[in-house]
Structure 1
C-alpha cells in the first residue's frame, strides 16, 4: 500500500480530472448539437457550399436592387449583343492612366448576304459606370418605389450588358438575377410542402405499422412507379391558360412537391421502425403520454438532424425539376423569369451558334447551385452523426 501511494504521488492519477476552461476536454462535455456544429464546420467544402447557397438566396431576396435594369426592358437595337467587360482605367489626352470604371459600347455591322446584324465591342465608346446609381424604377418586394441599383451606368440613357443580351435585347444578367429568386424559392417552397407530407405520412407508417403502414407504402409505390414526364405533361395540360403567372408558379410548385415526398417518407418510416421500441419511447408511454405526443414530441425531434440533411439534398432535385419543366415548355412561361425559362428561350439555332452565353450562364447557375446543395447536404448528413469516424 505504501508503495502504491508513493507511485500515485509521483505519477499522478491514471485519468486526469476535467478542468474548467481546458480546451482539450471540450469534446468530452459537449452536447449533441455542439458536436454536430463542430463536425460540420470542420468540413471546409460543406461550409464553402453553404456560403454559396446563402449567396444565391441573398441575390434572390434583393433581386430588384442587384439587377442593373428591368428583366423585361427590351433594347431592339442590340439584340444578341455579346457580353461587356468592366475596365477600371482610361487613357487621357496626355497618355496618363486615369481611374474610371466603365464598359465599352457596341458597334454594329450588317452581313450583306443574310442582312443579319451583328455586334462587336467598340473600344472607343466609353460608358462610365458606378455604384448605387439611378436607373429603371422598380417596386422593392412589391412594396417600395425605388430607382437605385447596386451597379449600372451613371447616365441612365445608356445600358450595361455584362452577360450580353437575348433575342429581344433584354439584359441577361438582370434576367438571371430575377430568375434566381423564382428557381431558388420554388425549390425551397416545394421542399417545405413535401417535408410536411413526407414526415407526417412516414411517421404514421413507421409508428403504427399494420394496415396504416400497408396503405401508405402502397401509395408510395404507386407514385414512385408513375412515369414522371408524362405525368408532368398531363398535369401541366390541365392548367388553364387564363391563369396568372403567379397562380401557375404555385401550381408548378404543388406538382413538384406532390411527386417528391416519397423518398423522405420512407426515410422517416425506417427511422421510426428503429426507434419505436427504444427505452425512451417506452418510458414516455408508461408516463401517460398520448400517441401524438410520443410521435411529435419524443421520436420526431431525435430525427431533426437527419431530416435536415435529407431536405438539403432534396432542394436541388426541386430546382432541377422546375428547370426541366420550364425547359420542356410545360412549366413556367414568360413573363415569369426562371432559369428554366431562360434555357427554354435559348432553344434556337442562332442562340447556339452566335450567342452561346444565353445557354452557358443559366446552365452554369443550375450546375453551381445543385453542386453546392449536394456538398452542403453531404456535410450535414455526416455532421448529423457526430459519433461516426
Structure 2
C-alpha cells in the first residue's frame, strides 16, 4: 500500500514538473517585465518582498533562527523548543549537502543567462550554473517541516513563510519555478526525516511526499489554468459538464445520510465522494493534463483513506448537529468558490 502511494505521488510529481518546464521561461519573462530597465522593481511592496525573502532564506538567517530556538529551549527548560532548535539545525545541514550537491551536479544556468541561449546541463562549479534546486527553498522548507512536526500550532505559519521565500526567488529572477518546486520537495522530505526517529522514516517520508505533492499539484493547477485558456469550445463544454456532474455526485454522496440510504447502492462512500469531487474540480478546468494530475493525486489519497478509514461522522450526537451543518455548509461553499475562481481566472494571464 505504501509503495503504491509513493509511486502515485512520484507520477504526480512527474506531471507537475513536466508542466512547470513548459512555464519556466514564460514565468521568468513575466517577472522581468515587472522590473525597470535599469534592473530594480519600481513597486516598493514587491521590492521589499523580494529583499525580505532573500534575507530570510539565507543560510546564516536560518542557522541563527535554529540557534535562537536552541538557546531559548535550554534557558526556559522547554524540551519541545530545544528539540525543534536541534532538529532544524540537523535538517538545515543535511539539506544543504543534498541541495548543493545536486546544484553542481546538474549545473543548470540561472535565469540571468537565459538571453545567452546557454541551457545545457552538466556538472559545473561555475558561479551562476547552480540554479536547480533552489537552496533558499530547500532550506526554508526543511526548517518549516521540522517546526510543523515539533510544534503543530505554528505549522501553517512556518509553511507560509517557506512558500513566501520560494515565491520571492522567482520574483527576484534568481530561479525558475521548477527550481523552487524541487527545493520544496527536497526540503520537505529532509525535514520529515530530521523530525522523526529512524524507525518511523518510511511512514513519515511517504506522508510528507504525498502532502507536498498535493500542494504542488494545487499550485500548478492554478498556474496552468491562469496561463491557459480553453483550447476548444466543444471540449471545454464537455469537460465542464462532466466535471460538474462528478462534483454533484460526490457532494450528494458525501452529504447523503447513509443510515437512511438503505439499499441505495448508487451512493458512494465518503472517500470515493472526495475523489469524485477532486477529480471533477480538475476536469472543469478543461485541461487533460490537470485532470490526469488530479486523478493520480486523488488515487493516492484514496489508498490512504482505505488504509485508515475515517471515523463515522454520520452518527454524531444530536448536540453536534449544528456544528455538522455549519461544517458541511462551509465545505460546500469552499467547493463553489473554487469552481468559480478557476472559471474566472482561466486564461487570464496568457504567459505561455
Normalising by structure 1, we get a TM-score of 0.24
Higher share of residues assigned strand: 1
Normalising by structure 2, we get a TM-score of 0.25
Higher share of residues assigned helix: 2
